[in-house]
Structure 1
Amino acid sequence: MRIAVTGSIATDHLMVFPGRFTDQLIEGQLDRVSLSFLADRLEVRRGGVGANIAFGLARLGLRPLLVGAAGADFAEYGSRLRAVGVDTSSVRISEGLHTARFVCTTDADQNQIATFYAGAMAEARHVSLVEVGRTAGGLDLVLVGADDPQAMLRHTAAAHDLDIDVAADPSQQLARLDAEQTERLVDGARWLFTNEYEAALLQERTGWREAAVLQRVGTWIVTRGGDGVSVLSSNAPRLDVPSVSSEAIADPTGVGDAFRAGFLAGMAWELPYQRAAQLGCALATVVLESVGTQEYKLLSADLVARLDSAYGRTAAQDLEPFLAGVS
């Protein structure tokens, strides 16, 4: 399966605040918040949802095509992505803007406060998915991840026009999309990815209840953090897959992107939803135990052991042949 992953390409500045954000919030004063948190750790890492998902797919042995926009400072980052198997030939390089920046602070309860600077991402709207597909010799699936909103709308429309399956993943951009834009991104998608909060926001933004969303998409995958994942569709029973537990949590940034990579790899291998979701959960936990979204080590034996422990030997045996080349 030839997968194009569209979405942000960014540098992550990840900080850790040893206290709790909620301890600093004063009831009755939330309409004029002015807070500063003294972080005791800073990590500068490569990220962006598009790049993170493409990286995860490549680490699992696929060769995804990354579609997005970056700055002239992308040269080293691009080389690293290509080294693991990501095709970066469709990344637009801006002549005047830096690669996007994601600045995030995580507290002791794993709550996060983040700011995202778009930078070169604003030029993603100038990338033609039609041309990308032509150059690539055809596409089987386009994941439309959080990106410049106009780029997201353009890629979605182009994929539908070309009769290419769409995985809609609006995530962080839901906060700035209006009802019409949200509907255009979701309607007709084969897969829709959200977390629990985004699921509620999507329904509030569109006015659609769960049943109405499921009338418009093939399958809706809702990630629920430590409670696992729910897979919903209008023509099949709800599927709930528990998370893979961890006692070495390091940083939640990029965990959702890792899940998507694992799940989409399962789709590329034509696995049932349960196995694809289990693989996604296992990969998500690997990332949860790492600082940075692309700094994790991935070993076949480790993934199989996690699957065995969380879901049983049958699940591990079903997935093991597809993970043989992971190293």
Structure 2
Amino acid sequence: MNIIVSGSMAYDRIMAFPEYFADHILPDKIHMLNVCFQVDGVTEHFGGTAGNISYALRLMGKAATITATIGHDHRRYFKWLESNDIAVDGIKIIDKEFTAGAYITTDKADNQITGFNPGAMKFSSELDFDSLDPENTILIASPGNLDDMINYPRRCKEKSIRYIFDPGQALPVLQPEDLIDVITGSFLLIVNDYEFDLILNKTGLTREELLALADNTIITLGEHGSRIYRNGTETKIAPAAPRGVIDPTGCGDAYRGALLSGLASGLDLEESAKLGSICASFAVECHGTQVYTFTPEEFEDRRKSY
């Protein structure tokens, strides 16, 4: 099974402010804000939905083709991917742009101020659909270039390619008519509970109408597991227990990567979602996204106790 992962490649730069933002912001001067927060340092992580999902897939023993864009500062990221045996052939380099980057500052109360530069993500990855075998391909369209998020599912429908739509943090800027069109006929819509409600709000659909658009829908619920909806039925997927929760960032992408690995292995959606739950439990045990790891034996041990 050829797995195509469409999404973003990004550097996440995380900074810790050792005080409280509120102590340095004057409420009566909020209209003319001019502040500087001196941080304790910067840690950089490899991120982006395409990178994160492909990393989880590799841990699960599967290879994916990444279709995404990256900037002229790509060398460190490519070196990381290659060291993890993840192919970079499908990643388009945009020489005149930086790689997409999130700059996240967190204070003592876990309040965050984030700046995001889309950089290379503003450009299409220009996936060649004519080179794909419809019978043996599954594509996931995750947050990344907005045109790709809408156009790739449409091309999948034209080519009879099975696809998963994962709108995530791009939902606020996606148009209602595009959302309805792309979700309709998809093999799977996967969102968290907030995102599902946001789609309802944007489209004006009822819950039942939205659930009827895709062949299957998965709603993830964080520590409460996930739910599969198909043909008017609901299947509960329990969460897998981590050793401890350190950072939930990226656990959704871990879930998606392991879910894809199950589907590519011929498992049904329920068994694949269980793999997603187990993989996500490893992801929350570490700071950062492509940081967690496990051996096949460790995964199997957790699967047995799941």
TM-score, length of structure 2 as denominator length? 0.88
Secondary structure of the structure 1 residue equivalent to 2:12: strand
Q: Residues 190-205 of structure 1: matches in 2 within 5 Å? A: 190-205=187-202
CA distance 1:211–1:69, change in 2 (3 Å): same
Q: Secondary structure of 1:87's match?
A: coil
Q: Which residue of 1 aligns with 2:104?
A: 104
The answer to whether the 8 A contact 1:71-1:96 is kept is: yes
What secondary structure is seen at the aligned counterpart in 2 of 1:232?
strand
- For the residues of structure 2 that align with 1:277 and 1:113, how far apart are their CA atoms? 33
Given that 2:244 and 2:285 are in contact with CA atoms closer than 8 Å, whether structure 1 keeps it comes out as: yes
Q: 1:112 Cα shift?
A: 5.7
| Deviation (angstroms), 1:265 | 0.9
For the pair 1:241 / 2:237, whether they are aligned, the reply is yes
Task: Report the equivalent of 1:262.
Answer: 258
2:169 aligned with 1:180:
no
Distance 2:151 2:180 in 1: 13
3-state SS of paired residue (1:93): strand
Distance 2:200 2:109 in 1: 27
Cα deviation for residue 266 of structure 1 reads: 1.1
Structure 1 regions of 5+ residues with no counterpart?
A: 312-327
Question: Does the C-alpha gap of structure 1 residues 184 and 107 become closer, same or farther in structure 2, counting only changes over 3 Å?
Answer: farther
Gap change, CA 1:68 and 1:243, over 3 Å in 2: same
Q: Which moved more, 1:242-251 or 1:196-205?
A: 242-251
Match of 1:282 in 2: 278
Which segment is superposed worse, 100-109 or 263-272? 100-109
Q: Take 1:260 and 1:121, find their aligned partners in 2: how far apart are those partners? A: 21
SS in 2 for 1:73: coil
CA distance in 1, matches of 2:243, 2:107: 17
Measure how far apart 1:304 and its partner are.
Answer: 1.8
Matched letter for residue 186 of structure 2: A
Separation in structure 2 between the aligned mates of residue 184 and residue 113 of structure 1, nearest angstrom: 34
Equivalent position SS for 1:89? coil
Confirm or deny: 8 A CA contact 1:4 1:139 kept in the other structure.
no
Conserved? CA contact 2:8–2:50, under 8 Å: yes
1:264/1:276 contact within 8 Å kept: yes
- Contact 2:8/2:49, CA 8 A, preserved across alignment: yes
Tell me, yes or no, if structure 1 residue 116 matches structure 2 residue 112.
Answer: no
2:197 alignment partner, SS class: helix
The RMSD of aligned alpha carbons is 2.8
Amino acid at match of 1:207: G
2:304 pairs with 1:308:
yes
Name the % identity: 27
Give per-residue Cα distances to partners, 1:258-287, cap 9 Å, x unaligned.
000111111111223332122111111111
2:79 is equivalent to residue 79 of structure 1: yes
Gap regions ≥5 residues in structure 2:
none
Give the TM-score normalised by structure 1: 0.82
Q: Which one of the candidate residues 180, 186, 189 is aligned to 2:186?
A: 189
The structure with the largest helix share of the pair is: 1
What SS does the aligned partner of 2:123 have? helix
Paired residues of 1:17 and 1:39 also in contact (CA < 8 A): yes
